[in-house]
Amino acid sequence: MAGGIQIVPSGVFGSEGRPGANARLVVAHIGVGGMGMTHVNNMLRFQKEDKVRIAAVCDADDNRLSAAFDNVGGAPAVKAYRDYRYLIERKDIDAVLIATPDHWHAVQTVHACQSGKHVYVEKPASVTVAEGRAMVHAARANKVAVQVGAQARTAKGGWYTCRAIRNGIIGRVHRVSCWHYANPVDDTPVPDSDPPEGLDWDLWVGPLPWRPYNRRYHPANFRWVLESGGGQIRDRGAHQFSTILWCMNADQQTSFTVEAKGRAPGKGLWDCPVDMDVVYHFKNPDWSLEWGQPGNKVGKTEFGNVFWGEHGNLVLEWEGGYRPANPEAIAFQLPPGGKEVPRTDEYEDFNMNHKADWFRSIREGHLRPAVDIEIAHRTATLCNLGNLAYRLGRKLVWDGHKEQVVGDDAANRLLSRPQRYPYVL
């Protein structure tokens, strides 16, 4: 029991039938802490608009599960689950929203796709290249729409910037640089301990190698451990790189070189580099992408990026979601012969808008939302290879068609990793 709710132990519900083009989608939430509650609140608004029906919530933490269950109205319309595998057995659920820790994204997405469900999953898409490719394969093989939560491609700030860059506001762009504040350091490590009451720790660890509970690891500090969170570059980099690739019209430029250096932390559990500089070089067309941690802070906010072109530069604060575009980009007028960039702005709230885009891809049957899993996989590959170049301390040459590091067997062995049974792809 959790907060007076009954946690369903198995999927025993009959099918209510699949919805037609104009019917409500039946949705469920897997992971309801942090960003997961934002997704819940968004779905509640869609439910009021009669576009969805929330059927289930799931979390390995009973306290979070109870809060979400109460928030969505509780029984009998909604069921609560601790283990997502029982939830995805239900034939009446059309789509799931996944906001679990990063190391769970791939396994849960693949299993949901194999169960015939459309997926909205938080970024980063994956923690290894092999996981990302498995997610793409599962989406295509099962003909479902997988949208990844890098919202700038459906936000106004990103759209204004993309439109201006693609239509030559600063001429040909030869370099894009990012700035971002450092990863934290664990200066006061604590001993391992028993997990808090109500948390299924084994289930939370899932596909990772088992480790004892530690307050410096859970709930959100997994972000600062390379095996699970990958630091700022895999978190915010997944946002910024997605926007940059879109603006540069470079989703198909899958091959590049990458070099990285960083300052390792001292004591404690966290092993992500405190400071980090990563440089990617692309060919045909030639341009470079630089991750600076902290980098050269050109703007005023905590992080952002600068497009450097033939005729000056254009700044984008954050990644184009939570902040507006540069005034120059907003005022930019399309030149004669210019090409318009498709725009999605059904809702003022960019989180709502991103989900509306996902719904549209489902209802219209094209199954390719704005941040389709293939796009997100390629973005995550940039992040993951940046960390890999840092760990190995050498330049990597990436063949995006073969998805291999050229001439580096040791690096290629690190593109995947074993997963702990039974939480496996």
With a threshold of 0.85, does the pTM exceed it? yes
What average pLDDT does range 214-236 have in this prediction?
A: 95
Spatial CB neighbours of 276, under 8 Å, sequence gap ≥ 6: 183, 231, 232, 233, 260, 261, 262, 263, 291, 293, 386, 390
Query: Where does the pLDDT of residue 72 fall: very low under 50, low under 70, confident under 90, or very high at 90 and above?
Result: very high
Percent of the residues in the chain that have a pLDDT greater than 90, as a whole number:
91
Which pLDDT score, from 0 to 100, does residue 247 have?
Answer: 98
Beta strands across the sheet bearing 118-121: 79-81, 52-58, 25-30, 95-98, 118-121, 146-148
Residue 283: CB atoms within 10 A of its CB come to 10
pLDDT higher for 80 or 320?
80
Residues in the chain: 425
The DSSP secondary-structure symbol of 255 reads -
Which pLDDT score, from 0 to 100, does residue 23 have?
Answer: 77
236-289: per-residue pLDDT in tens? 999 999 999 999 999 999 999 999 999 999 889 999 999 999 999 999 999 999
What are the φ and ψ backbone dihedral angles of 261, each rounded to 5 degrees? -145, 155
User: Cα separation of 180 and 211, whole Å?
Assistant: 30
Q: Which residues pair with 177 in a beta bridge?
A: 290, 306
Which pLDDT score, from 0 to 100, does residue 193 have?
Answer: 97
Which pLDDT score, from 0 to 100, does residue 345 have?
Answer: 82
Which pLDDT score, from 0 to 100, does residue 12 have?
Answer: 36
Which pLDDT score, from 0 to 100, does residue 15 have?
Answer: 38
Selection from 148, 204, 226 nearest residue 390 by Cα? 226
- Helix, strand, coil share (%) of the chain residues, nearest 5: 35, 20, 50
351-379: per-residue pLDDT in tens? 999 999 999 999 999 999 999 999 999 99
What average pLDDT does range 55-61 have in this prediction?
A: 98
Residue 42 host element (H or E):
helix 35-48
Asked if pLDDT for residue 43 goes beyond 70, the answer is: yes
Torsion of the alpha carbons at 152, 156, 160 and 163, rounded to the nearest 10: 60
3 state DSSP class of 406: coil
What average pLDDT does range 94-103 have in this prediction?
A: 98
Asked if pLDDT for residue 293 goes beyond 80, the answer is: yes
Which pLDDT score, from 0 to 100, does residue 4 have?
Answer: 47
Per residue, the 3-state secondary structure of 204-239, as one string, reads HHCCCCCCCCCCCCCCCHHHHCCCCCCHHHHHHHHH
Asked if pLDDT for residue 198 goes beyond 50, the answer is: yes
User: Cα separation of 295 and 303, whole Å?
Assistant: 9
Amino acid (1-letter code) at residue 61: D
Amino acid (1-letter code) at residue 128: T
Which pLDDT score, from 0 to 100, does residue 9 have?
Answer: 53
- How high does pLDDT run on average in the chain? 94
pLDDT higher for 154 or 322?
154
First to last CA, the chain: 29
- Quick one: 353 exposed, middle or buried, by C-beta within 10 A (0-12, 13-18, 19+)? buried
- Site of tokens 């219209």: 364
Percent of the residues in the chain that have a pLDDT greater than 70, as a whole number:
95
Of the given ranges (18-22, 24-28, 344-348, 397-401), which has the lowest mean pLDDT?
18-22
Asked if pLDDT for residue 16 goes beyond 50, the answer is: no
User: Are 200 and 82 spatial neighbours (Cβ–Cβ below 8 Å)?
Assistant: yes
Which pLDDT score, from 0 to 100, does residue 8 have?
Answer: 63
Asked if pLDDT for residue 1 goes beyond 80, the answer is: no
The DSSP secondary-structure symbol of 88 reads T
Helix locations, 252-405, DSSP H = 327-331, 350-364, 373-392
- Quick one: 214 exposed, middle or buried, by C-beta within 10 A (0-12, 13-18, 19+)? middle
User: Cα separation of 79 and 389, whole Å?
Assistant: 44
User: Are 152 and 344 spatial neighbours (Cβ–Cβ below 8 Å)?
Assistant: no
User: Cα separation of 216 and 74, whole Å?
Assistant: 33
320-340: per-residue pLDDT in tens? 988 999 999 999 999 999 999
Which pLDDT score, from 0 to 100, does residue 2 have?
Answer: 43
108-147: per-residue pLDDT in tens? 999 999 999 999 999 999 999 999 999 999 999 999 999 9
Asked if pLDDT for residue 3 goes beyond 80, the answer is: no
* Residue 107, CA distances (Å) to 216, 217, 400, 419, 425 in order: 24, 20, 23, 9, 5
User: Cα separation of 206 and 277, whole Å?
Assistant: 31
Characterize 224-233 residue by residue with b for buried, 16 or more Cβ atoms within 10 angstroms of its Cβ, and e for exposed. bbbebbbbbb
User: Cα separation of 321 and 304, whole Å?
Assistant: 11
Domain covering 153-187+204-340+374-413 assigned CATH 3.30.200.20 in the classification: no
Asked if pLDDT for residue 224 goes beyond 60, the answer is: yes
Asked if pLDDT for residue 14 goes beyond 90, the answer is: no
What are the φ and ψ backbone dihedral angles of 129, each rounded to 5 degrees? -65, -40
